[in-house]
């Protein structure tokens, strides 16, 4: 029996391990292994993946092969491929590569934005507008997805005003963004804050407020996931094996692990289209490729519950 089944019971997970996960660890995963990862994730039912980013190779050698990885992912017609881009140049490369969506991060923390990209949030909004123009003049149907990073707090400036997150979300939609996500980049969010902030952003921009992106740095990512579900969010980022960590917090875990979120959702009666057993096999495989890296999460240790919920995924 699945108690929460309704028209609204499907939840989309976007695995971001190939970008958010790999960019924060030392090991450089060879292109063919990334392609194997995509194949296995697809076979497990994953249909949304963030597979890399178009940033200068010298800044992020782990993701220098993103164009090749996108080319491989495109063999699956119904695999929705996202790439992160920091600027217009990256967006042009994403359009050329044929990605389905480009993710432009805009930090709600002025201090984080200055430290990370040496730009103010408003300068990033101007870049967004130039990306929207470039997409139009290229005749591209690529989706522009803005991820509002440090939306729940920042390691440099501490609190981030909720009014600033709402202002950026509105301005981003006005500048051409199709979808907005709220990202807990440093793992500060709590469930009450998640409900409050998503509700405010939904009031401002409606259904364009789509994605929740949680890190499990302080152990609250699953609780935050439930809170976001409660206010109607049905699209979540997660990383296979919870890889990633945070360079500023040694030993801290990274993105919430995809396996754990699938487990949570299936237990609660949501549909994900993802086969948890196959995902766990992939996690094991990836852990053998990244032997010196830290993996996180719970379900891989204990396995799924013996429950009818897991019989016919």
In the bound complex, which residue of the shown chain has the CB atom lying closest to Zn ion?
Answer: 20
CB of 19 or CB of 283, closer to Zn ion: 19
CB of 312 to Zn ion, least distance (A): 32
Q: Is 183 left (phi over 0), alpha (psi -120 to 50) or beta?
A: beta
What are 148's strand-pairing partners? Answer: 106, 182
**What minimum distance in Å lies between the beta carbon of 82 and Zn ion?**
13
Name the minimum Å distance from CB 297 to Zn ion. 15
Q: Closer CB to Zn ion, residue 16 or residue 262?
A: 16
Find out whether 48 and 99 touch, Cβ atoms under 8 Å. no
92 or 241, CB closer to Zn ion?
Answer: 241
What is the DSSP track for 33-45? HHHHHHHHHHHTT
Spatial separation of the C-alpha atoms in residues 48 and 69, rounded to whole Å = 14
Q: Is 246 a catalytic residue?
A: yes
The smaller minimum CB distance to Zn ion, of residues 20 and 65, is found at 20
Alpha-carbon distance values, 187 to 89, 154, 193, 213, 256 (Å): 30, 9, 12, 10, 10
Smallest distance, Zn ion to C-beta of residue 185, A: 5
Look at the chain and count its residues: 313
Give the Cα separation of 189 and 185 in Å (integer).
9
**Which CB sits closer to Zn ion, 92 or 216?**
216
Only one residue has tokens 């997150």, namely 165
Which residues partner with 275 through β-bridges?
A: none
Classify each residue of 71-98 as buried b or exposed e, where b means 16 or more C-beta atoms within 10 Å of its C-beta.
ebbeebeebbbbbbbbbeebbbbbbebe
> Please, what is the minimum distance in Å from the beta carbon of residue 162 to Zn ion?
20
Interface positions with Zn ion (CB under 5 A): 20
* Catalytic positions: 246
């Amino acid at each position: 029996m699945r108690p929460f089944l309704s028209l609204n019971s499907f939840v989309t997970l976007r695995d971001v391990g190939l970008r958010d996960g790999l960019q924060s660890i030392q090991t450089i995963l060879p292109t063919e292994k990334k392609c194997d990862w995509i194949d296995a994730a697809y076979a497990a039912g994953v249909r949304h993946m963030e597979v890399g980013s178009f940033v200068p190779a010298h800044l992020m050698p782990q993701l220098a092969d993103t164009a090749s990885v996108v080319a491989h992912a495109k063999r699956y017609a119904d695999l929705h491929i996202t790439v992160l881009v920091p600027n217009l140049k990256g967006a042009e490369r994403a359009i050329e590569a044929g990605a389905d969506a480009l993710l432009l991060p805009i930090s709600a923390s002025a201090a984080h934005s200055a430290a990370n990209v040496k730009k103010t949030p408003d300068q990033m909004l101007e870049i967004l507008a130039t990306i929207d123009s470039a997409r139009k003049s290229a005749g591209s149907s690529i989706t522009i997805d803005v991820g509002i990073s440090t939306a729940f707090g920042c390691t440099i400036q501490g609190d981030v005003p909720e009014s600033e997150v709402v202002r950026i979300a509105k301005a981003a939609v006005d500048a051409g963004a199709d979808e907005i996500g709220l990202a807990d980049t440093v793992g500060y969010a709590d469930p009450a804050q998640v409900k409050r902030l998503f509700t405010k952003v939904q009031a401002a921009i409606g259904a364009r407020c789509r994605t929740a992106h949680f890190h499990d740095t302080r152990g609250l990512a699953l609780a935050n996931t439930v809170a976001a579900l409660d206010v109607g969010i049905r699209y979540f980022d997660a990383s296979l094996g919870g890889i990633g960590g945070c360079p500023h917090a040694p030993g801290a875990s990274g993105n919430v692990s995809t396996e754990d979120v699938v487990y949570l959702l299936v237990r609660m009666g949501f549909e994900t289209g993802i086969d948890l057993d196959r995902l766990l096999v992939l996690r094991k495989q990836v852990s053998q490729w990244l032997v010196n890296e830290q993996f996180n999460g719970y379900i891989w240790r204990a396995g799924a519950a013996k429950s009818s919920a897991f019989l016919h995924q």
